[in-house]
A and B are shown apart, each in its own frame.
Chain A
Amino acid sequence: MPLGPGRAGRVGVIGHPVAKTAVVAKAVTPGPAPVAKTAVVAAAVTPGRAGRRRRI
């Protein structure tokens, strides 16, 4: 199928070839314990999680 005529001959908005986001692909690939990982991440982004303090 051809692209829409409005897309031809224009300067693009992406600007460079895109690389596959390996880190995201790895995160969403079911591992040995995807449920456990989900719980850990959920805890990390939940306010008031004990035992984790910002160090600057």
Chain B
Amino acid sequence: MTDMTTELIDQHTYLDSLGPIDYIVVEFPAGASSFTGEMSEALLSLVDAGTIRVVDVLILTKNEDGSVDAMELSDIEQLGPLQRVEAQLAELLAAEDVEHLAAAMDPGSTAGVLIWENLWAAPFASAARRSGGQLIATGRIPIQAIIASIEADEANATEGD
């Protein structure tokens, strides 16, 4: 087997065991942020449990004129326990992604962008692929949609009384 073939097999094996990658943008309106370290602790507990792997983090600030400043986690002087996460980050997001993500932000706000791999899902996804399954849909059900569904059920039940 050539080195290139071995490398391709290694890449395929790695890709096959990769969990799905998700992202969130958490906005903190101007003057409303209160950083106590609680978020860092919660994130690190997920990392330590092997539930997720943090892939990328950016801190964005949208100025009143709509311009956006981006900060790397490594730019923060007092990272504390997050330092060990920062050491393992991949710069997955490109510069153009910053503009796309910041489109959701209000002027004057700051936002944390978090990209993570769902390690917990990797073995199941891998098993599904080995069984011949193909992922054809994925998504998230907002809590508000569940509330709306329940309220609609309750309204229908009331009408039926």
Contact = CB atoms under 8 A, between A and B. Distances in A.
B94 A17 contact: no
Contacts of A11: 94, 96
Given A1-B69, A3-B72, A37-B147, A10 B95 contact: yes
Interface residues of B, number: 34
B143 A27 contact: yes
A43 B105 CA distance: 33
Interface residue tally on A, bucketed by range:
20 to 34
B25 A12 contact: no
* Interface SS of A by simple majority: loop
Given A17-B103, A18-B101, A18-B103, A23 B91 contact: no
Interface in A3-46: 3-4, 6-21, 23-24, 26-28, 37, 40-41, 44-45
B75 interface: yes
Given A10-B94, A12-B100, A24-B144, 6 more contacts: A7-B98, A8-B95, A9-B95, A12-B95, A18-B101, A44-B150
Interface of B: 23, 25, 27, 58, 69-72, 74-75, 91-101, 103-106, 142-147, 149-150, 153
